[in-house]
Amino acid sequence: MSNLGLWVFESRHDESFFMTETRHRFSKLICIREGLGEVMADWADGVSALPCGAGDCILVPAQLEHRIVDDPRHPISLYGLAIDPQRISPCAAIEQMIPAGKLPRQRMAMLDIPQRIRRLLYLVSREDPASMLSAIAGAIEVFARLAMASSEANEPETRQHGDAPGSTPDVIDEYLIWIRCNFFETLSVESAARACGMSRRKFTTDFRQRTGQTWLAYLNGLRIEHAQTLLRDTDNKVTSIAFQSGFEDLSTFYRTFKRLTGIRPLDYRI
């Protein structure tokens, strides 16, 4: 852990690797890049070993004694990330916001978690003040994105399209979680299909089957819902609300708002 309260690391195991049991006073995120193995610990529900392989991410909570056991034929390479909550206080409640154990693989891919940690490794290697500031901000963003996605995954609006709570969401379920946190970004159905690893035709078909709506209709519904909240709870100008809700031009915002609500934005505010 650095003096700034940030720990970013890469570990490449070989066939002779052996890890003794260890514990930390902070939560640690492990992202498996290559190989196979298990993370041994006293996990919830009596589980003592979490199988892991390339693409898996595991959140190890503070003070949990654990160790990694590699498959000797496929030693593990991994990225790790941790933040000291005593130095960066908003991260003190990480374990209350993000479930411990193996996180949904599709969610990690959509949030670009391994790629973000790889960038953090580059930033901390530079050691100049600007890079350190960027690294701290990037590390906080990693955990913030995980926390927001975990929160959205438990929302009834998201769960109603997917499986029961506690089950493993599929790729469309995970995309629904992701889009509820990112609807205001510049998006396209092509990029959505790529994120889900599907052709455009399969994505649009599966999306409609899951939600009962087209991708664009679902996206616009999220955007207008957010705009209604801003119109109701703030004094922001309509142009600002349109932009914050993900609309690039005011005319499209007005047309979409009227089509979905039956009234104009200013009439809704009244």
pLDDT at 240 over 50: yes
Please check whether the domain covering 6-146 is classified as CATH 2.60.120.280. Answer: yes
Query: What distances in angstroms separate CA 213 from CA 98, 123, 169, 207, one per listed residue?
Result: 30, 42, 19, 7
- Structural contact between residues 75 and 13, judged by C-beta atoms closer than 8 angstroms: yes
pTM: 0.78
**Average of per-residue pLDDT across 29-45:** 94
pLDDT band at 160 (very low <50, low <70, confident <90, very high): low
Residues 49-73: pLDDT tens digits?
999 999 999 999 999 999 999 999 9
Give every CB contact of residue 76 below 8 A, 6+ residues apart in sequence: 11, 13, 17, 32, 33, 34, 35, 36, 37, 52, 68, 70
Domain boundaries, the chain: 6-146, 209-269
What's residue 105's pLDDT? 83
What's residue 165's pLDDT? 41
Q: Which two tokens stand for residue 206?
A: 């599966």
What's residue 168's pLDDT? 43
**Average of per-residue pLDDT across 163-192:** 79
Higher pLDDT, 77 or 170: 77
CATH architecture under which domain 209-269 falls: Orthogonal Bundle (1.10)
Residue 82 β-bridge partners:
7, 28
